[in-house]
């Protein structure tokens, strides 16, 4: 599976090498060379993982981490620290970093840490997937219910399956072929029209204005994605 990774490293040679290695693993990598560039990047976009050097020109990696955690407590952060910066490692973990590697490090070690962190990202805590809110809608996939404006709507098993898959991939597009494979088990008699009909039903239960959805967005030519409402409209 491909993930979006922000890579923040001021050393050009190291940045290029890491970017190429991560891209070689199939990931989309967006790189920044200093703290100011990284700050703008992290404020403007969402990522599945941030690889963040501590020592940067401009705002330091720890400053950027503090700012990120003030608005986003979920995105995994892997710190790159220099040998002997024990205090930075401890402070970074206290500020909310998920892991760190110490320079100089082997590429194999870093890729292994990245893979482990993304594996956890791919399988979030079950309770967070099964029970969550989207605006005024309270969703309980285990109970097959959506409660919105004091009205309880019942989810069909397929609708619940679609929401579960969207929640697991939150922020990323889920292709219609994925819904067919993961929710319908690859049934040959099910086509794109069935997926679209189920999505219309879901929007009527979840969205306040189902014709102008805020949470269950269309990715034209691909499928759908679930957002927290901050994107503000169709993709």
pLDDT in 10s for each residue of the chain, 235 residues: 678 999 999 999 999 999 999 999 999 999 999 999 999 999 988 898 999 999 999 999 999 999 998 888 778 899 998 866 677 788 888 888 888 899 989 999 999 989 888 887 665 555 556 888 998 999 998 889 999 988 999 999 899 999 999 998 888 888 998 898 888 887 667 788 899 999 999 999 999 999 999 999 999 988 999 997 544 455 4
User: Which two tokens mark 80?
Assistant: 């790159």
- What pLDDT is recorded for position 232? 46
Encode pLDDT of 119-152 as tens digits: 876 655 555 568 889 989 999 988 899 999 889 9
- What pLDDT is recorded for position 128? 58
DSSP strand pairing (28-32 vs 49-53): unpaired
Global pTM exceeds 0.85:
no
User: Please, what are the domains in the chain?
Assistant: 4-122 (3.40.50.2300), 126-226 (1.10.10.10)
Give yes or no for a contact between 180 and 190, defined as CB atoms under 8 angstroms apart: yes
Encode pLDDT of 57-87 as tens digits: 999 999 999 999 888 877 889 999 886 667 7
**E-strand stretches of the chain:** 4-8, 28-32, 49-53, 77-82, 99-103, 131-134, 137-140, 145-148, 151-154, 174-175, 216-219, 223-226
């Amino acid at each position: 599976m491909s993930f979006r990774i922000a890579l923040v490293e001021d050393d050009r040679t190291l940045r290029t090498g890491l970017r190429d290695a991560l891209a070689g693993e199939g990931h989309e990598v967006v790189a920044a060379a200093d703290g100011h560039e990284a700050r703008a990047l992290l404020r403007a976009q969402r990522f599945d993982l941030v690889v963040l050097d501590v020592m940067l020109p401009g705002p330091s990696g720890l400053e950027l981490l503090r700012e990120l955690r003030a608005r986003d407590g979920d995105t995994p952060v892997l710190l790159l620290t220099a040998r002997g910066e024990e205090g930075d490692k401890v402070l970074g973990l206290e500020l909310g970093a998920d892991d760190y590697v110490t320079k100089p490090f082997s590429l194999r070690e870093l890729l292994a840490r990245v893979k482990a962190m993304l594996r956890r990202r791919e399988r979030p805590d079950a309770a967070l997937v099964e029970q969550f809110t989207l605006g005024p809608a309270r969703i309980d996939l285990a109970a097959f219910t959506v409660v919105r404006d004091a009205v309880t709507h019942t989810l069909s098993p397929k609708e619940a399956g679609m929401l579960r898959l969207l929640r697991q991939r939150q922020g990323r597009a889920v292709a219609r072929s994925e819904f067919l494979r993961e929710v319908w088990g690859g049934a040959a008699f099910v086509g794109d029209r069935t997926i679209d009909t189920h999505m219309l039903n879901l929007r009527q239960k979840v969205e306040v204005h189902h014709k102008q959805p805020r949470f269950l967005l269309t990715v034209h030519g691909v499928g759908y994605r679930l957002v927290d409402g901050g994107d503000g409209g169709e993709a």
